[in-house]
Amino acid sequence: MKPPPFHYAAPTSVAEAVALLGEHADDDARALAGGQSLVPLMNFRLAQPGYLIDLRRIEELTRIRTDGDVLSIGAMVRLSRAEHSPEVALGAPLLAEALGYVAHPPIRNSGTVGGSIAHADPAAELPAVALALDAELVVVGPQGARTIAAADFFVGPFTTAIGAGEILTEVRFPRRDGGQAFVEFARTHGNFALVGVASVIETDGDAVTRAAIALSGVAPVPVRAAAAERALTGTVPDDASIRAAVDAAVAGLSPSGDAHGSTETRTDIARSYLRRGIELALTRAQDRR
């Protein structure tokens, strides 16, 4: 299991990287972030890019900063750094919690926030977090920078709205109040999740004023549990109403099955973890008040 040959460059600026990407488009050029998803695929020879543009030397992509109510994380910020960043804990506790579920520490020591989101694995944690927090994804291409809403970003399994010649440079998470919780079910510790649930629930002390819940692993892209969000909003949730909200959301799901879980089992697990996620977020919403 050895990767196929490729050309390599490690530019020091986004502009240079975008230029290289354009120059070598015919060579199937790709950006290389931490490589924790791409390199295994190359070792299996399932991915064979002809040119890799390593973003590791681009300083500006490694910043974490807070501008008012927005937490911005550079695409090349390593997962473990984000996980332990006080700014992330404050600005996006959901993200901090979810990062603890991404594979294992040695993977998180190399993997990056941008890499994980741009890879768009339907079972991955960060895309669901981005969706639940209404994150904005900043991409830069030959025509300059543009911003894509998370809801428009994930278009299929391993497919995003990043255009040809563009590089994901930054992820912006708006600060949310209320309770935030990330829960997931994986068959073994650190393995790919069958179902992940990212929940952000705000209350006025009793009633839910806003609910944003995203699921991973149940569809080709991360999806919002819109029916559950609607059912919860404006109510004072109790066990029965939470179950009803969960059932409403799960009714719309038809996760595809594989060796680790049939459609029915994945649906069962989604039902269970959706409830657990909502309950945890509600508890935290109460605790925060």
Partner 1 sequence: MERHDVTLTVNGRTSTVSVEPRKLLVDVLREDLGLVGTHIGCEHGVCGTCTVLRDGESIRSCTTFAVQVDGAELRTVEGLASGSELHPLQDEFWDKQGLQCGFCTPGMLMRACEIVEQKPDVTREEVREGIASNLCRCTGYQFITDAVCAAAARMKAGSTETTGAQA
Partner 2 sequence: MTTVDRPDAPPVRTHKPDRTWVGKSIRRVEDPKFLRGRGGYIGDMTVTGMLYAAVLRSPHPHARITGIDTTEASAAPGVHAVITGARAAELCDPLPDFGPNPAAHTWRCLAVDKVRYVGEGVAVVVAESRYLAEDALALIDVEYEPLPAVVDPERALADGAPLVHDDLGSNCAYERTFDFGDVERDFAEADVIVTDRLRWHRSGGQPLETVGAIADFDHATGALTVHTNSLSFTSYLFMVAGTMKIPANKLDVRPLPAGGSFGSKLFATKPAVIAGMCSREVGRPVQYLEDRVDNMSNCDHHGSDRVYEVRLAMMRDGTIRGIDIDTVEDYGAYIQFGVGHHGNALAQVVGPYAMTSVRYRVRAALTNKNQQGAYRGFGSEVNNWMLEQMVDKAARELALDPVELRRRNFIREFPHFIPTGNVYDSGDYDAVLDKALELSEYRHWRDVQAKAREEGRCIGIGLITAQERSVFSATEFWFWFDEPGAPVTSMPESVTLKVDATGGITATLYSCAFWGNSPETMVAQLVAEEFDCDPHDVSIVYQGSKNGLPATGPGGSRTTVMLAGAVEGATAKIKAKALRAAAHLLEANPDDMEWVDGGYQVRGVPEQRKSLADIAVMLHLFKHSFPEDMESGLEDSKVFDHPYTTMPSADRTDLGVFYPFMGHACHVPVVEVDLETGSVSFLAYAAVHDCGTLVNPRSLAGHIVGGTAQGIGTALYEEFVYDDDGQLLTSSFLDYLVPSAMEVPELRIGHHETPSPYTLHGIKGGGEGGRMMAPAAINVAVNDALAHLGVRVTELPITPDRLRAAIRAAGG
- Span from 29-37, 164-172, 222-230, 270-278 in contact with partner 2 (CB under 8 A): 270-278
Site size toward partner 2, by CB under 8 A: 27
| Site membership for partner 2, residue 152 (CB under 8 A) | no
Nearer to partner 2 by C-beta: 143 or 191?
Answer: 191
Task: Please count the other Cβ atoms lying within 10 Å of the Cβ belonging to residue 108.
Answer: 24
Q: Considering only 128-136, 166-174, 185-193, 206-214, which stretch makes contact with partner 2 by CB under 8 A?
A: 185-193
Residue 99 binding: pick among partner 2, partner 1, none (C-beta 5-8 Å cut-off by kind): none
> Cβ 43 to partner 1, closest distance in Å?
5
Residue 264 found at the interface with partner 2 (CB under 8 A): yes
Q: Is the CB of 126 or the CB of 201 nearer to partner 1?
A: 126
CB 225 within 8 A of CB 214: yes
Q: List interacting residues with partner 1 (CB under 8 A).
A: 1-8, 10, 32, 35-36, 39-40, 42-44, 52, 54, 56, 80, 103-107, 109-110, 189-190
Pick the closest to residue 171 from 226, 111, 95, 109 (CA basis): 95
Q: What angle do CA 74, 79, 84 make, to 5 degrees?
A: 100
Whether 181 and 94 have beta carbons less than 8 Å apart is answered as yes
Q: Which two tokens stand for residue 171?
A: 């992820």
* 256: contact with partner 2 by CB under 8 A: no
Query: In this structure, what token pair is assigned to residue 69?
Result: 């109510």
> What are all long-range contacts of 145-148, with beta carbons under 8 Å and residues at least 24 apart?
145/169, 147/172
What is the distance between the alpha carbons of residues 112 and 75, in angstroms, rounded to a whole number?
Answer: 7
210's enclosing H/E stretch is: strand 208-216
Selected from 34, 49, 115, 261, the binder of partner 2 by CB under 8 A is: 261
Piece of the chain touching partner 2 by CB under 8 A; list 19-27, 150-158, 183-191, 198-206? 183-191
Give CA 106 to chain center in angstroms: 19
Indicate the DSSP class of residue 50.
S
d(CA 122, CA 107): 18
Q: Say whether residue 190 binds partner 2 (CB under 8 A).
A: yes
The CB-of-181 to partner 1 minimum distance in angstroms stands at 20
288 sits near partner 2 (criterion: CB under 8 A)? no
Nearer to partner 1, 188 or 239 (CB): 188
Residue 101 CB partners (closer than 8 Å, separation 6+): 125, 182, 184, 186, 190, 193, 196
Q: How far is the CB of 102 from partner 1 (least distance, A)?
A: 12
Residues that bind partner 2 (CB under 8 A): 1-5, 44-45, 185, 187-192, 194, 258-262, 264-265, 268-269, 271-273
